[in-house]
Structures are given as C-alpha cells and as structure tokens.
Amino acid sequence: QVQLVESGGGLVQAGGSLRLSCAASGRTASNYFMAWFRQAPGKEREFVAAISWSGGTTYYGDSVKGRFTCSRDNAKNTVYLQMNSLKPEDTAVYYCAADPYYRNYVQGKYNYWGQGTQVTVSS
C-alpha cells in the first residue's frame, strides 16, 4: 500500500498562488497514477487534475485549466499542484489520490487517498 500526505495549503488572497505537495510513502510513487480532487463546503468532491506515472501526461478539470499545473518528481515520491490566479471559488479541501491503474477523473476508482489540506482564497 501507499500512504499519501498533502501539504502546502493555507490562506491566500484572490489572484495569488499556492503550491500543494503530496508525498507518497510505503511504495514507489512512480507505480501510481496520481490525482488531485477538492471538496468545498456543501458540495460534492470534484476532479481537479491527474498525472500519468511518468508525468508525461496531465489532465485537468474545466474549472482549473490554464491556472493549475500538476507535476511530479518520482525521485522524491512527490506530486505537486501549482495553483495560480486563485479565485474564492477555489476554496476547498484538496485531496491527493493514487491508484496503480489509469483512473483519470473517476474518483470512485482510486484506492488510496490522503487526509486533505485546506485552501482558502479570500476576496
């Protein structure tokens, strides 16, 4: 099994940037297809971004395209989410997810999840 720990969340003003990290332990991160999801208060969890095992292919939800960038450093067993031009509607708990197989935006298929990190964007 792999354990996931997110970090980097916090409070930022609209228009600002944050970089989230997801550190994987227990197994080699390069064996896992990784993704980010988020859940705002009172809303369902939604897909943010995903990245292939090597990092060569990325996928994004429509609401973050052009503003967020997902990357990974397999040597550090870490996946990143660079968030730019943040908006108040980006406020949510951000979760990292992993699975050995290609899962893309299908959150129900991911077998491993982190505990989440809070991102709050003030207007």
Per-residue pLDDT of the chain (123 residues; tens, 9 = 90+): 899 999 999 999 999 999 999 999 887 888 999 999 999 999 999 999 999 999 999 999 999 999 999 999 999 999 999 999 999 999 999 999 999 999 989 999 999 999 999 999 999
Residue 29 has a pLDDT of 83
The closest alpha carbon to 84, from 9, 7, 19, belongs to: 19
- Give the separation between CA 3 and CA 112, rounded to whole angstroms: 7
The closest alpha carbon to 50, from 74, 72, 29, belongs to: 72
Residue 28 has a pLDDT of 85
Report the greatest alpha carbon distance in the chain: 40
Residue 105 has a pLDDT of 92
Residue 78 has a pLDDT of 96
Contact 54, 108 (CB under 8 A): no
Q: Which two tokens stand for residue 94?
A: 């951000």
Contact 57, 14 (CB under 8 A): no
The conformation of residue 56, written as its DSSP 8-state character, comes to S
